[in-house]
Amino acid sequence: MISEKYKKMCSTPSVIRELSVYATERGKEIGYENVFDYSLGNPSVPVPDEFNKAIRELTEELTSSQLHGYSPNPGNPEVRSIVAASLKDRFGLPYEQKHIFMTSAAASAIAHAVRCVTEPGDEVITFAPFFPEYRPYIEQTGAVLKVVPADTSSFQINFDEFEKLMNRNVQAVLINTPNNPSGIVYSSDTLKKLARILEDKQKAYGHEIFIISDEPYREIVFDGVDAPYVSGFYDNTLSCYSYSKSLSIPGERIGYVAVNPAAKDADMIVSMCVQISRGIGHNCPSSIIQMAAARCVSMTSDLSVYEKNMNLIYNKLVELGFEVVKPGGTFYIFPKAMEEDAKVFCEKAKNYDLILVPGDTFGAPGYFRMAYCIDTEKVERSLPALERFVKNEYGAK
Amino acid sequence: MISEKYKKMCSTPSVIRELSVYATERGKEIGYENVFDYSLGNPSVPVPDEFNKAIRELTEELTSSQLHGYSPNPGNPEVRSIVAASLKDRFGLPYEQKHIFMTSAAASAIAHAVRCVTEPGDEVITFAPFFPEYRPYIEQTGAVLKVVPADTSSFQINFDEFEKLMNRNVQAVLINTPNNPSGIVYSSDTLKKLARILEDKQKAYGHEIFIISDEPYREIVFDGVDAPYVSGFYDNTLSCYSYSKSLSIPGERIGYVAVNPAAKDADMIVSMCVQISRGIGHNCPSSIIQMAAARCVSMTSDLSVYEKNMNLIYNKLVELGFEVVKPGGTFYIFPKAMEEDAKVFCEKAKNYDLILVPGDTFGAPGYFRMAYCIDTEKVERSLPALERFVKNEYGAK
């Protein structure tokens, strides 16, 4: 019988998706180059040539079964070793092959990580503003997502509200730094304080509490910003990585879970992921994509364009009188809207062909997200539209 | 807190995996060429050159975002249209793009299909002998797997036992033809009878009952065998396909769910799969692999070797006095063991470096599986060992 649960979910529209569809439709009327589409977090810079080259070479170097045969469920062993060595080298934790579980990007990494450390009915805490897909990611496992309201002064963690939400049923805390949608990087102080609280709570409650660290933007960090490695602060950490943004290959679905070698049951968690895989139909990511990513393990796309775009937008926003925290990374910025209801604000912006996403979607009403993974030339052309919008609708500063 | 459920599962060994590890270890002692390893269903024939060529060309023809950008969650629209057109052309059902959901091979297809048509606590029926992964595939959704004992005379469906198991809680029936492990293809008569019973039961129970048809071996059918298309017999059918075996690319994880256009809510099921994806971390298969598979949609590897191997083995088994049903496809054969306990039989076979899998694993004790996706030359060399084993242990016929 058709599942009523999933049938009902089909009728809940995605705000971001709807805005993106609107932008495409509007583009058909006035030319897409004239729509300032800040809706989607789709990397705009090309993949490094080396990645495509690796793919071509792999088809010529390896036999059919070496290249296209089953990779073991936790991933290609050589690829896992390369990832472990690279993480060990960069971040100083003693990762080995056994700590790495290859996944179909961060969504799949989180799907495994959550199931590893929660049972249905358990609570998982995350911090606003947060990526809206966290809700289905968590809730479809049977766990319950609790959201700590944003500290809008800095978009670091609102610790007072966090401590209020903490209770014995919390088994995991899901964080995302550099953050979508705020662009903020959690400081060492933030991570130290988070770790200290969780260590105290682990003792008080008599069970582990895991950090699930969603890190697809780890490589997109701007000049002068210190981006500490989360797992270095807290043993019970599962790092969920994706190459989608660093190599501009979101369609290839490749990433991993890296288990902190000092975590509880660290030697077992990858085997648990294998068991979880059987139930969710994962098995392993594409073998050729695993191998190509491993050949590019120390590489990124040219990510400098995102910082250039950020500076252009940030400076204009400040000039126009917006309240905004300067991003430390990603390709997002999350300013305060110029009226209370950000949905109304973003609706008005459409009249200037500016496609902005209301912060309500991210658990932070009154703010809006701009995804500036678009051509710099278009960012430059969008700024006069932004200025017209603000001056016409809200008066000059 | 670490999930006890998945932790416990880690200690349940896979019989097939253990035999495969044994074969590899034994290979280190006597040379792997001397181990007659019939344990694993890993395609032995190479991928068609066209597939690798398609991959190379795609990296040169398309821009980075066209090739590696996010594909929509149900899959690349053009790929879905190509798959739909190909199925329509071959099997005469009016498939359109909207009926095709691209998946990471059959495991992922089944993961989505089961969740589409069952709720936790519902029953799903399958037929012995069956692929052992069906148990985690079904049970980890919360549904309950019920197994109809084998009709060992033909390995078609044991309808008497099936009707005994049918009840109001059964929401889906999972079938696999051509079948792993028996190699048998369900006849038109079998499928007609199954469809008639299910149609009656749908009326009697007042709800749909879906067939989930697992079809990774659809293209591996031997000379003179009629392999009817399941979905042509019964409207409420979800066909779960994988290119793993037909193109020899099991590591690339590519397949689809094809919704029968006449199924209940046929226009919605792909959207439901999208919702399911969010919870299980699937999103979509690798974009380059989707596109390369679409370019090879009417192609297979040279599958003739499997039939050659089958005939060699089947004839020898008959000559040695085995009770065995001749396979109509796949690369498996499922003879009756020469003593009651097939586990003991397979253990003795190891002394002749024959690696056979006891049928207990497939829900059919007393039988054993040989996966003959190995070089024909090795099959030929294995036959004297098989003869020695049978004559020494069980006497000549």
Beta-strand runs (E) in chain A: 36-37, 100-103, 123-127, 144-148, 170-176, 210-214, 237-242, 255-259, 332-333, 354-355, 357-358, 368-371
Sequence-distant (≥ 6) Cβ neighbours of residue A264 within 8 angstroms: A208, A235, A236, B2
Select from A279, A295, A311 the last residue of a domain.
Answer: A295
State how far the Cα of A235 lies from the Cα of B252, in Å rounded to an integer. 34
What angle, rounded to 10 degrees, do the helices at B287-295 and B49-61 form? 120
A24 — contact with chain B (CB < 8 Å)?
no
- Tell whether A279 is within 8 A of chain B (Cβ): yes
Query: Is B272 close to A209, i.e. CB distance below 8 A?
Result: no
Interface test with B, best of A5, A64, A110, A236 (most B CBs within 10 A): A64
Closest Cα partner for A43 from B64, B45, B160, B336? B64
Task: Report yes or no: A283 at the B interface, CB cutoff 8 Å.
Answer: yes
Q: Does A70 reach chain B within 8 Å, measured CB to CB?
A: yes
Tell me what percent of the residues of chain B surpass a pLDDT of 70: 99
Same domain, A256 and A123: yes
Asked if the model's pLDDT at residue B12 lies above 90, the reply is no
Is the torsion defined by CA of B191, B194, B196, B199 positive or negative?
negative
Whether residues B190 and B329 fall in one domain = no
* B22 to chain A, closest Cα gap in Å: 16
How far does B379 lie from chain A, in Å, by closest CA?
A: 19
Query: Rounded to whole angstroms, how far apart are CA atoms B215 and B245?
Result: 10
pLDDT digits (tens, 9 = 90+) for A43-71: 999 999 999 999 999 999 999 999 999 88
Contact B251 A110 (CB under 8 A): no
Is A291:A76 a contact under the CB 8 Å cutoff? yes
- Whether B291 and chain A come into contact, CB under 8 Å, resolves to no
Predicted pLDDT at A148: 98
Taking the alpha carbons at both ends of chain B, their separation in whole angstroms is 59
Contact assignment for A251 to B280 by CB distance below 8 Å: no
- ipTM comes to 0.96
CB atoms A280 and B285 under 8 Å: no
- Mean pLDDT, residues A180-191: 98
Number of A to B CB contacts under 8 A, please give it.
249
Torsional sign, CA A379, A381, A387, A389: negative
Instruction: Please tell me the distance from the alpha carbon of residue B261 to that of residue B246, in angstroms, as a whole number.
Output: 24
Under a CB-based contact definition with an 8 Å cutoff, are residues A313 and A370 in contact? yes
User: Are residue A260 and residue A274 in the same domain, yes or no?
Assistant: yes
Distance, CA of A382 to CA of B280 (rounded, Å): 38
Q: Closest Cα to residue B110, out of B126, B93, B121?
A: B126
Q: What's chain B's Rg over C-alpha atoms?
A: 21
The tens digit of pLDDT for each residue in A345-382 reads: 999 999 999 999 999 999 999 999 999 999 999 999 99
Distances (CA, A) of A14 to A133, A361, B123, B307: 10, 9, 33, 50
Mutation for B interface: A4, A5, A6, most B CBs within 10 A? A6
CB-based contact A207 B272, cutoff 8 Å: no
Q: Quote the mean pLDDT of chain B.
A: 96
What pLDDT is stored for residue B397 in this prediction? 56
Helix H or strand E segment including A380? helix A376-394
Q: Is the pLDDT of residue B142 over 90?
A: yes
Q: Determine, for residues B117 and A2 on separate chains, whether the beta-carbon distance falls below 8 Å.
A: yes
Q: Does B43 touch chain A if contact means CB atoms closer than 8 Å?
A: yes
3-state secondary structure of B226: coil
CA distance B307 to B314: 10
| Residue A104 with chain B: CB contacts under 8 Å | 104, 281-283
pLDDT at B120 over 80: yes
pTM for the predicted model, two decimal places = 0.97
3-state helix, strand, coil in chain B (%, to 5): 45, 15, 40
- Are residue A186 and residue A279 in the same domain, yes or no? yes
Cα–Cα separations (whole angstroms), residue A131 to A301, A383, B326: 23, 26, 55
Three-class secondary structure of residue B333 per DSSP: strand
Residues A79 and A182 in one domain: yes
Pick the more confident residue, B204 or A18: B204
Q: Which residues of A touch B272 (CB under 8 A)?
A: 2-3, 6-7, 9-10
B-chain CB neighbours of A208 within 8 Å are 1-2
How many residues are given for chain A? Answer: 397
Read off φ and ψ for residue B157, nearest 5 degrees: -85, 135
Q: What is the pLDDT of residues A119-151, one digit of tens each?
A: 999 999 999 999 999 999 999 999 999 999 999
Q: Does B104 touch chain A (CB under 8 A)?
A: yes
Nearest Cα to Cα of residue B177 among B132, B224, B129, B223 = B129
Q: Rounded to a whole number, what is the distance in Å from the CA of B217 to chain A's nearest CA? A: 16
Does the pLDDT at position A342 exceed 90? yes
B361: containing domain: 4-47+302-394
pLDDT (tens digit, 9 = 90+) per residue, B57-99?
Answer: 999 999 999 999 988 899 999 999 999 999 999 999 999 999 9
What is the rounded (10 degree) CA torsion for A351, A353, A356, A357? Answer: 70
Q: Are residues B310 and B163 in the same domain?
A: no
pLDDT attached to residue A309: 98
Max distance between CA atoms of chain A, in angstroms, equals 66
The answer to whether A1 contacts B251, with C-beta atoms less than 8 Å apart, is no
H or E stretch covering B332:
strand B332-333
* Chain A nearest C-alpha distance from B254 (Å): 8
Q: Among A295, A321, A343, which residue terminates a domain?
A: A295
What average pLDDT does this structure show over B287-297?
98
Burial of A284 (0-12, 13-18, 19+ CB in 10 A): buried
Percentage of chain A beyond pLDDT 90 is 93
Nearest by Cα to A164 from A131, A203, A197: A197
Distance between CA atoms of B268 and A217, rounded to whole angstroms? Answer: 34
Confidence label for A265 from pLDDT (cuts 50, 70 and 90): very high
- pLDDT tens for residues B245-267? 999 999 999 999 999 999 999 99
To the nearest whole angstrom, how far is the Cα of A70 from the nearest Cα of chain B?
4
Q: How confident is the model at residue A397 (pLDDT cuts 50, 70, 90)?
A: low
Cβ contact B64–A55 (<8 Å): no
CA–CA dist A357, A23 (Å, integer): 12
Degrees (nearest 5) of the Cα angle A383, A384, A389?
Answer: 95
What tens digit of pLDDT does each residue of A20-48 get?
Answer: 889 999 999 999 999 999 999 989 999 99
B377 has a chain A CB within 8 A of its CB: no
CATH number, residue B201: 3.40.640.10
CATH of the domain at B350: 3.90.1150.10
Contact: B3, A104; criterion CB under 8 Å: no
Q: Is the pLDDT of residue B195 over 60?
A: yes
A209 lies in the same domain as A308? no
Residue B13 confidence (pLDDT): 76
Are B42 and B59 found together in one domain?
Answer: no
Residues of A in contact with B5 (CB under 8 A): 119
The residue behind tokens 């071959």 is B90
What is the per-residue pLDDT across A208-244, written as a single tens digit (0 to 9) for each? 999 999 999 999 999 999 999 999 999 999 999 999 9
Question: Looking at the 3D structure of chain B, how many domains does it have?
Answer: 2
Q: Are B55 and A59 in contact (CB under 8 A)?
A: yes
Taking only the tens place, the pLDDT of each residue in B348-379 is 999 999 999 999 999 999 999 999 999 999 99
| pLDDT tens readout for residues A310-334 | 999 999 999 999 999 999 999 999 9
- Residue A396: the pLDDT is 63
Query: Measured between alpha carbons, how far is A41 from A373 in angstroms, rounded to an integer?
Result: 7
| pLDDT of the residue at B396 | 63
Note the pLDDT of residue A127. Answer: 98
Whether chain A has a CB inside 8 Å of the CB on B26: the answer is no
Q: How confident is the model at residue A13 (pLDDT cuts 50, 70, 90)?
A: confident
Beta strands A237-242 and A36-37, pairing class: unpaired
- Sign for the pseudo-dihedral over CA of A284, A123, A208, A131: positive
Answer yes or no: do B248 and A108 touch at CB < 8 A. no
pLDDT-derived band at A14 (thresholds 50, 70, 90) equals confident
Nearest chain A Cα distance for residue B340, angstroms: 31
Distance from CA of B102 to the nearest CA of A (A): 13
One-letter amino acid of A112: H
Asked whether the bond before A129 is cis by omega within 30 degrees of 0, the reply is yes
Q: Do B287 and A122 touch (CB under 8 A)?
A: no
Rounded average pLDDT over B222-250? 97
- Portion 205-234 of B in contact with A at CB < 8 A: 207-210
Among A70, A104, A115, beta carbon nearest to B283: A104
- Give, in order, the Cα–Cα distances in Å from B77 to each of A46, A168, B14, B65, B80: 22, 46, 38, 15, 5
Q: Nearest C-alpha of chain A: how many angstroms from B286? A: 4
The pLDDT assigned to B14 comes to 83
Of residues B1, B109, B283, nearest to A105 (C-beta): B283
B185 lies in the same domain as B215:
yes
**A78 and A93 inside one domain:** yes
Q: Report the distance separating Cα A202 and Cα B359, nearest Å.
A: 47
- Indicate left, alpha or beta for A179 from its phi (over 0: left) and psi (-120 to 50: alpha): beta
User: Do B81 and B26 reside in the same domain of the chain?
Assistant: no
Taking contacts as CB-CB distances below 8 angstroms, the residues of chain B near A55 are 55-56, 59, 288
Q: Please give the pLDDT value at position A287.
A: 97
For residue B368, what is the enclosing H or E element?
strand B368-371
Which pLDDT score, from 0 to 100, does residue A283 have? Answer: 85
Nearest CB to A253; choose among B47, B116, B286: B286
Of A295, A327, A362, at which residue does a domain stop?
Answer: A295
Q: Give counts: helices (H), strands (E), chain A.
A: 14, 12
B236 and chain A in contact, CB less than 8 A:
no
Both B195 and B266 in one domain: the answer is yes
